[in-house]
């Protein structure tokens, strides 16, 4: 029996060198386990940098109209708020000044508006000189602009209570709130908070330029997101890709920087690592045939868990590949053993 085995080997070795079969009978008592090959459509790549953020301009930002002494935020930074929900109490004498200013502005605006209406009739009747009318209109429009600006802010202010030194702002939209929590001073023009609609939170990825065109999705903290857009301008060695909006199922923190697994489009197969070996300078697997093992060259793509993603010119889906004693078969191919 053993002699027969070696005879078989001697017979098959020259043929094997050209990529043919290894007879099972020549493999003696080696333990031969097989694994069915699975077809996969996506192949994970090495981790890349990702940030949970939003596209430029998609935020609703609120600036401070005046300097304030203190801001007491009522919600968690990065938390979700609903439209109309109080989110900050601004305190300080400036608030009182601001309210007075708004009140004064309103009165000035109303006065300017009344004057404008009155003057308009006079102007239409040619009772008002052209220069005077232009000055009245300019004054009216400037006050209107200023007033509307303040009024828009005041729309976010809950009606002031007795305390005239504080105001409470409420959220303009439903979404995520973000504010600068470590700001030392609150200066006029600074952002009090910005609001991001839920549909605007997404992952920004930096992916290698050469692989970017096959990027289909990203795996983030156990959550899979499709990639929606790939920017056309490279940043150094990478391209920016945007995922779809983060859904509620994904528990991702706004602005967090994460290591993400990009998913690339590939029509590939998943085979155990123990099934792959190198022969004639190329990765191969051994496909089970009738009474023999067929050497099939494969291209290794990436590791997938404990397996490899590979491509092959042969349809491997559902076929059985040898997943044990592969190195011994490799030794047989190299002519080791036997005398």
Partner 1 sequence: MLKQLVRFSLTQRLFVCVAALALAGLGLRAWLALPIDAYPDIAPTQVKVILKVPGMTAEEIEQRVTYPLETELLGIPRQSMLRSTTKYAITDITLDFVDGTDIYWARQQVNERLAGILDGLPFPVEGGLAPMSTPLSEMFMFTIENPRLSLQDKRQLLEWEIRPALRTVAGVADVNVLGGYARTYQVTPHPVVLSELGLGIDALEASIVEQNLNAGVGRILLGNDVLVVRVEGQVHSLEALQDIVVYSGPAGVYRLRDVADVEIGHLARYGAVTRNGEEAVQGLVIALRDSNTGAVVDGVKARLADLEKTLPAGTEINVFYDRARLISTAIGTISSALFQAILLVVAVLTVFLGNLRAALVVSISLPLAALATFLLMSGTGLTANLMSLGGLVIAIGMLVDSSVVVVENTLSRLDNNPGLPRLHVVYRAAQEVALPVVAGTLIVIIVFSPLLTLSGLEGKLFTPVALTIVYAMLAALVLSLTLIPVVASLMLGTHKAGMPRFMLRLQAAYVVALERVLRRPRGLLLGIGALLAVSVVFLLLMGKTFMPVLDEGDLIVQLEKSPSISLQASVELDRQVGAALLAGVPEIRQIVTRTGSDELGLDPMGLNETDVFMELAPTDEWRFASKTVLEAAVREVLEGFPGMNVGFTQPIQMRVSEMLTGSTGDVTVKVYGEDLVRIAALMHDIARVIPRVQGAVDVQASVTEGGKFLNLEVKPELASAHGLTVEGLSGYLRSQIEGAVISEVRQGNRRIPVTLAAGSQSVAVPATVADLAARSVALPDGSLATLGDVASLSYAEGPLLIERERGSRFGVVTVNVEGRDVVGFVEELREVLSREVALPAGYRLEYGGEFENQQRATHNLLLVVPVALVLILLILFATFGSMALAGIILGNIPFALMGGVISLYISGEYLSVPASVGLIALLGVAVLNGVVMVSHFQQQAHLPGALPARICAGASQRLRPVLMTATTAIFGLLPLVFATGPGAEVQRPLAIVVVGGLLTSTVTTLFLVPVLYQYREKLVHG
Work out the widest C-alpha separation in the chain, in whole angstroms: 126
Say whether residue 45 binds partner 1 (CB under 8 A).
yes
Q: Which is nearer to partner 1, 34 or 60 (CB)?
A: 34
Distance CA 189, CA 46 (A): 43
Across the strands, what pairs with 283?
A: 278
Least gap, CB of 150 to partner 1 (angstroms) = 36
Say whether residue 336 binds partner 1 (CB under 8 A).
yes
Distance CA 307, CA 248 (A): 31
Count Cα neighbours of 89 within 13 Å in the Cβ-side half-sphere.
Answer: 10
Among 211, 219, 223, 230, binds partner 1 (CB under 8 A): 211
Say whether residue 162 binds partner 1 (CB under 8 A).
no
Give the SS3 label for residue 59.
Answer: strand
Number of residues in contact with partner 1, rule: CB under 8 A? 52
Distance CA 106, CA 136 (A): 17
Least gap, CB of 173 to partner 1 (angstroms) = 30
Say whether residue 2 binds partner 1 (CB under 8 A).
yes
Q: Which of 191, 252, 236 minimizes the C-alpha distance to 59?
A: 191
Count Cα neighbours of 142 within 13 Å in the Cβ-side half-sphere.
Answer: 6
Say whether residue 48 binds partner 1 (CB under 8 A).
yes
For 248, counting Cβ atoms within 10 Å of its Cβ (0-12 exposed, 13-18 middle, 19+ buried), the class is exposed
Among 14, 29, 222, 249, binds partner 1 (CB under 8 A): 29
Distance CA 204, CA 219 (A): 12
Across the strands, what pairs with 299?
A: 311
Say whether residue 203 binds partner 1 (CB under 8 A).
no
Which DSSP letter does residue 201 get? -
Q: Which of 143, 138, 262 minimizes the C-alpha distance to 203?
A: 262
Q: Which is nearer to partner 1, 80 or 238 (CB)?
A: 238
Stretch that binds partner 1, among 44-52, 79-87, 119-127, 136-144 (CB under 8 A): 44-52
Q: Which is nearer to partner 1, 193 or 329 (CB)?
A: 329
Pairing relation of β-strands 257-272 and 38-44?
Answer: antiparallel
Say whether residue 256 binds partner 1 (CB under 8 A).
no
Residues 265-304 within binding reach of partner 1 (CB under 8 A): 273-274, 277-278, 281, 300-303
Among 151, 238, 288, 320, binds partner 1 (CB under 8 A): 238
Least gap, CB of 2 to partner 1 (angstroms) = 4
Residues contributing to the site for partner 1 (CB under 8 A): 2, 5-6, 9, 26-31, 45-49, 206, 208, 210-211, 236-238, 257-259, 273-274, 277-278, 281, 300-303, 305-306, 308, 324-334, 336-339
């Amino acid at each position: 029996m053993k002699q027969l085995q070696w005879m078989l080997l001697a017979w098959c070795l020259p043929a094997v060198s050209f990529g043919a079969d290894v007879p099972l009978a020549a493999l003696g008592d080696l333990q031969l386990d097989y694994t069915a090959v699975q077809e996969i459509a996506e192949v994970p790549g090495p981790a890349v940098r990702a940030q949970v953020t939003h596209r430029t301009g998609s935020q609703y930002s609120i600036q401070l109209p005046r300097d304030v002494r203190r801001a007491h935020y009522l919600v968690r930074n990065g938390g979700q708020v609903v439209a109309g929900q109080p989110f900050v109490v601004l305190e300080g004498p400036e608030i009182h000044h601001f309210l007075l200013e708004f009140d004064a502005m309103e009165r000035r605006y109303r006065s300017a508006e009344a004057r404008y209406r009155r003057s308009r009739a006079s102007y239409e009747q040619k009772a008002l000189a052209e220069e005077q009318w232009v000055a009245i209109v300019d004054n009216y429009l400037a006050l209107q602009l200023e007033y509307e600006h303040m009024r828009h802010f005041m729309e976010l202010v809950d009606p002031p209570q007795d305390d005239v030194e504080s105001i409470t702002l409420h959220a303009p939209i439903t979404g995520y709130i973000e504010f600068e929590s470590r700001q030392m001073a609150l200066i006029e023009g600074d952002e009090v908070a910005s609001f991001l609609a839920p549909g605007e939170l997404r992952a920004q990825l930096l992916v290698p330029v050469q692989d970017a065109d096959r990027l289909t999705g990203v795996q983030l903290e156990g959550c899979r997101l499709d990639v929606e857009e790939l920017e056309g301008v490279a940043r150094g060695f990478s391209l920016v890709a945007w995922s779809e909006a983060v859904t509620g199922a994904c528990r991702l923190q706004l602005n967090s920087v994460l290591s993400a697994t990009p998913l690339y489009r590939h029509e590939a197969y998943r085979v155990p690592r123990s099934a792959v070996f190198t022969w004639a300078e190329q990765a191969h697997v051994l496909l089970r045939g009738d009474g023999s093992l067929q050497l099939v060259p494969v291209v290794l793509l990436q590791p997938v868990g404990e397996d490899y993603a590979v491509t092959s010119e042969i349809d491997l889906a559902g076929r059985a590949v040898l997943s044990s004693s592969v190195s011994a078969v490799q030794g047989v191919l190299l002519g080791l053993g036997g005398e």
